[in-house]
Amino acid sequence: MTGHLLFEGEVLSGGGDYRDPQVRGRVEQAARAYMNDLIRGVLDQTIEWQTDPVGFGMRFRSKFPTWVSWVRYDWRRQISRLQVRVTTDMRIRRVGIIHSNPRKLPGG
C-alpha cells in the first residue's frame, strides 16, 4: 500500500531569508524528513499494536464477498503483514513576520 501526502506551511519568523530558493529548499527538506519520520512512527506503532486508526481495513474489506469471510480473515492479525510506503512533500507557501502588539506584563 502506498500513499503520498502533501503539506503546505508558512514561515512566520526566523533567522534566514526564506525568499532565497536554496534556504527555502533546505527548510522544506528538513520538514519533509520530519514528517516522514513522524508518520512512519505512527504507522509502526499501529502495526505493533494491531490497531487501525487510519482505516486501512476499510480498503481491504471490499475484497471479501461476505462478512463471515472478512471475520475469518482476521484483519487485526493481518495488520502485522501490512507494508506501507508513504512519501511526503512539503511546500512553503508564504514567508513573513508575525506582527502583534506587545503585551503588558503584570506589575509593569
pLDDT digits (tens, 9 = 90+) for 38-80: 888 888 888 888 888 878 888 888 889 999 998 898 888 888 7
90: alpha, beta or left, given left = phi > 0 and alpha = psi -120 to 50? beta
Q: Which single residue is written with the C-alpha cell 471475520?
A: 71
- Domain map (residue ranges) of the chain: 2-95
pTM of the model: 0.62
pLDDT at 36 over 80: yes
Nearest to 49 by CA among 14, 91, 1, 82: 82
DSSP state of 54: T
Q: What pLDDT, on a 0 to 100 scale, did the predictor assign at position 68? A: 93
User: What pLDDT does 61 receive?
Assistant: 87
For residue 89, give the nearest of 32, 25, 39 by alpha carbon: 32
Cα–Cα distances in angstroms (integers) from residue 61 to residues 74, 77, 98, 108, in the given order:
11, 14, 47, 63
Rounding to the nearest 10 degrees, give the CA dihedral for residues 17, 19, 25, 28.
90
Mean pLDDT across the stretch 84-95?
79
